[in-house]
Structure 1
Amino acid sequence: MGLDPELLDWLLDSDPALRWEVERDLAGAPPGVWRATRARVATEGFGARLLALQDPDGQWAGGAFFPGGFDFAAFEAAGAAGQPWTATTWTLTTLREWGLDAAALAGTADKLAANSRWEYDDLPYWGGEVDCCINAYTLANGAWLGADVAGIAQWFLDHRLADGGWNCAWVDGSTRSSFHSTLNSVKGLLAYEAMTGEGGPLRAARLAGEEYLLERGLLRRLSTGEPVATWATRFAYPFRGVYSALNAAEHFRAAAQHNNVAPDPRLADAIGLIRSRRTADGRWLQEHRHPGSVWFEVDVPPGEPSRWLTLFGTRVLAWWYTAA
């Protein structure tokens, strides 16, 4: 794809969790090379550090979505700012997205079934709860670890809203879909579909959710055409559960390749935004950080060039311009 050699060397000088994707998608390395690097995620760097932090009962930080003993009263009083990113669901999602072999977590699915309960109504872990973002992570993580999450898959069919997407606030009466909730939902459904081969109604639901975002060009309100909010145009890694045009475009790249279809032309404005954020030397800057406690930092502070964002941005643009 003609990537600048200096830029490629900079990207390759990274943790195995990132390097294997650079090798596979940007450097054109043969499968034996990037698969060997991917295998190192379990034994070196970020992945190994997270694995070492797992509790004996299979959890991380003693909790399902929040750390054990979390002060919810103080959290709510502060306006729910500073979500901690250390508990089980966040850590599993991170490890899965980094490409960790599920064999490195052998026995974890059973341990979580026995020991982990959701903070919401003390529900069993692999049954999910009422938040569609949490359920999306759990659907994908369960398929990855071999847990029975068929009930969560059905939950997405039962809780899709009339406009095509999902909203975590449905439990409070919301009937309009959310950019954040819909993106997280379709990402979870795509991961589940890719790992299980299941299509049918679940695939149709995913495509409907993607259509919700495409109708809005990933950036705009359908009713007025105005920009949805500044959060859609700010890039940060880790993505967490926060919507951005880059996070969404990366999903549509993966979905198009899974579906074996060309890029949808309605992505053009989002692609233009992503391209405009590329610096003269081909990098993307970390624009901010999502507040909240972490086990350790995996990317640079705001204002510095981010290898993670540069991987995603470069890969999305390469897909768009070669496949469109």
Structure 2
Amino acid sequence: MDSQPAVPGPLLGGEAGSGEPMTVKPDVAAPAEDEQAAPPAKTRKAVIIAWAKRLLIVAVLAAATWSLYSQWDEVYPTLLALPWQSVVLSMIAVLVGIFLGPLVWKIVLSDLGAPVRFSDASKFYLVGQLGKYVPGAVWAVLLSMELAREAGVNRARSFTAGLVATGMGVLASLIAGLAALPVMLSGRPESNQLLWLFLLLAVGLPFLHPRLLTWSVNLVLKALRKQPIERRFTGVEILKALGTAVAIYLCYGVHLWLLVNSLGSPRWDTLILSTGAMALSMTAGLLAFFLPSGIGARELVITATIATVLPSGQAIALALVSRLMFTIADLAAAGSAALLVYVQKRRGAPVPVPAED
């Protein structure tokens, strides 16, 4: 019995019975492989936030520049009288301390399960820190959170890291500030008014325990109606962050010590005194958040402490020179961090995806 030849269906051939294969013709032509999908249009909220961030950066840069300009006439004569070698080495010490700051954030974020590159941590920390030159600490916090979001860290986690890193910094400053305690107890009225700061050390030290630190952070997040952190802090990472923060104040102490020694006979014991003075002055400036970068509060502490080894006039002048050098270093460090991230992008380094809150 002869079998009948199969008749190709409409999906396998052209005309019925022609025996010719038929190709499927889609209704819409497939896009070329090199074509890329158009990026989604930005929402009005995203555009507003982007422009607000740009305006905030311009505002803090303007405030930092004005701070630099307004101090110049007062410190220029003293700055010229200092040996240039001491000024250069002192500036290097400041820059080393400033660039250790992002490392504290990097350690804390890694412990929170949000690891970031040092370059990204440098950008959102160092650029964000310029917000301190605008009265009110909120601007530095907001700017850091927005820049951290671009690095893939959501706002809740960056806020948490900032809270912990700031607490670490205060405790580290008070630990280093113990070096200046003998001078503060010597009876100078300006110094004695700051003794209450060491109460913060007694209150804060227990919170270095991982369980208590995790509980307190979750309590703050709960009050802000945010989700609690998924993992507990670890003791090793806490000690690493605290040790790095102490190293920052040691660098700042070297900065002031070099300036003090340049105006008198070199003394190694002033290194301990200078470290304590810088550490306590930073904490005083942080607590005076209503002042741009704690201006006035920092100088008061430095002057009161350094006046024990130098005439009062020179102590005041060095406090102002120190302020000027920190302003220059802040601007230089922020610019360097932003430039580093830009160069990495130009070289094709992976760009973090902005985090969703």
Quickly name the TM-score band, shorter chain normalised.
under 0.3
* Structure having greater relative contact order (Cα 8 Å, sep ≥ 6): 2
Give the TM-score normalised by structure 1: 0.27
Q: Give the greater-gyration-radius structure (CA).
A: 2
Q: Report which of the two has the higher share of helix.
A: 2
